[in-house]
Every structure is written in structure tokens, then in C-alpha cells.
Amino acid sequence: MTAASIKILVIEDESDVRIYIANLLRSHGYEPIWAGTAEQSLDKARGERPALIVLDAMLPDDQAQSIYAALKTDPLLRRIPVVLLASITRRALDGARLYATGSGKKRLPEPEAFLSKPPEAEDFLAVIHRLTLSACDIQRKGGS
């Protein structure tokens, strides 16, 4: 698979960050796709089957938590790597219980990567490259 055929779903509510990420991905041959709401995010993830999902961990109204939980509990989507972007530290984000489900009794798997927002281009692209290579290997071997 070439980078041009690799779709990356970006769930981000800030237009300047969306533009930055889109330019970065396109300039390196990836195909960014967008979702504006929690419902659109899940529909796009199911319909487009991206190799990777970039999720703004600070979406309003706890949308990030519900999206993340839905992604990691859906049999069709749970193996898609997720990169979380946040303007707070990972420790603070962990304290926000992003990885807890419903009542908080069961913990979801941690995201495959966590980056500060806005991400540094070099760090972001290195993570994207590493995770999309892994995702493409899984797809080639028939897993999902």
C-alpha cells in the first residue's frame, strides 16, 4: 500500500488544527478524511475503514470519551489504531477517565499514541508512519 491509498480519519473540532493536519498528511501522501460529530465519526470509521484515527481528546461534551469507547468496543473498529491529540498532559488526560467505560468498572485499552496539540510535524508523521505500517501489515494478513 502506498501512503496515497492510506486513509486517516481525523476527528478534530478546531479548524486551524484540521487545516494543519490535512496539509501535513496530504503533503506526505496520506488521504485525510474528516468527521464533525460523534455520529459522523463512527459512520465514517465503519464506511471508510481508515488505517488510523486521529482523535481530539478535548472535544466538547465528552464526545471524545464516547467516540473512543465506541471505537474500542466495536468488533469492526477496535483494531484501528487511535492517536489522541490533547492540549493537556497525558497524566491529566488519564485522570479524566477517557479510557473507562460506562460505569468505570472496565478499562478500555490505551490509545496507540498520545501527542500534544498541536503536534510537532516530525513527531506526528513518525507516529502516523509507524502505526499505518502496522495497520497495513494487519490488513495484508487478513486481520481486522
- The pLDDT score that the predictor gives to residue 99 is 53
pLDDT at 69 over 80: yes
- The pLDDT score that the predictor gives to residue 2 is 55
Count how many domains the chain has: 1
3-state secondary structure of 7: strand
How far apart CA 4 and CA 127 sit, in angstroms, is 17
Structural domain containing residue 38: 3-140
How far apart CA 110 and CA 57 sit, in angstroms, is 13
3-state secondary structure of 21: helix
Which run of H or E residues covers position 83? strand 82-86
Mean pLDDT (whole number) for 129-134: 88
pTM of the model: 0.83
pLDDT at 58 over 70: yes
Which run of H or E residues covers position 138? helix 121-140
Cell of 65: 470519551
Beta bridge partners of 115: 85
- CATH number of the domain within which 117 lies: 3.40.50.2300
pLDDT in tens, 83-126: 999 886 555 555 555 555 555 556 788 899 999 988 999 999 99
- The pLDDT score that the predictor gives to residue 144 is 46
Reported as a pLDDT band with limits 50, 70 and 90, residue 54 is: very high
